[in-house]
């Protein structure tokens, strides 16, 4: 199997995407006052910055923050693990509901609806697994970058969406369902 086939196969592994999201959700689930991620739109924008570390680097620079902790590998400057598309509110993956259903089915998160907002809460089992995943070499970058996202982008979905629009006009200018390039 060549590299392209391997990457294509990885993109078709929903458990891998669900695991990445679990690590991301965990970073935003502090044990204190709030232990949820509020809204699929917010989750999608955060996941965009996690999947596209070059964009995370640009986002931090746009906020006047240090980009040193992103620690991009050379291959990450030229490729992305799993592309997203431009949708109604910016970067999106049409499989988010599938990924969340995997996490729900495994008892790792719960999902509720408050008005029109989907609220994603981590379970204790989810927190334990995310901690174990974050300690593995394959997920350490996700864990570190998720912590950066929490530190610098823990804002309401609409604020984050506006920031994405302003910082990445090339993404917003894409046609609906067009893939976001690296």
**89-134 tens-digit pLDDT:** 667 678 888 999 999 999 999 999 999 889 999 999 999 999 999 9
Give the pLDDT confidence of 26-44 residue by residue, as tens digits: 999 865 556 788 889 899 8
Tokens of 138: 């394959």
Q: β-pairing, 85-87 with 90-92? A: antiparallel
**Domain locations in the chain as residue ranges:** 3-173
Angle between helices 96-105 and 14-27 (to 10 degrees): 80
Q: Measure the CA dihedral 144/149/154/157, to 10°.
A: -140
CB 103 within 8 A of CB 109: yes
């Amino acid at each position: 199997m060549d590299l392209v086939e391997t990457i294509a196969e990885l993109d078709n592994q929903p458990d891998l995407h669900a695991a990445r999201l679990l690590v991301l959700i965990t970073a935003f689930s502090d044990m204190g006052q709030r232990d949820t991620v509020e809204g699929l739109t917010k989750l999608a924008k955060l996941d965009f910055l996690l999947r596209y570390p070059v964009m995370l680097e640009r986002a931090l620079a746009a906020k006047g923050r240090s980009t040193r902790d992103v620690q991009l590998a050379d291959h990450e400057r030229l490729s992305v693990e799993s592309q997203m598309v431009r949708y109604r509110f910016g970067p999106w993956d049409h499989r988010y509901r599938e990924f969340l259903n995997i996490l729900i089915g495994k008892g790792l998160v719960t999902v509720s609806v408050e008005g029109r907002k989907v609220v994603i809460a981590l379970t204790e089992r989810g927190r334990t697994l995310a901690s174990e995943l974050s300690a593995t070499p394959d997920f350490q970058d996700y864990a570190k970058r998720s912590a950066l996202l929490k530190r610098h982008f823990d804002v309401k979905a609409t604020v984050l969406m506006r920031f994405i629009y302003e910082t990445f006009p090339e993404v917003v200018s894409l046609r609906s369902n067009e893939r976001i390039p690296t």
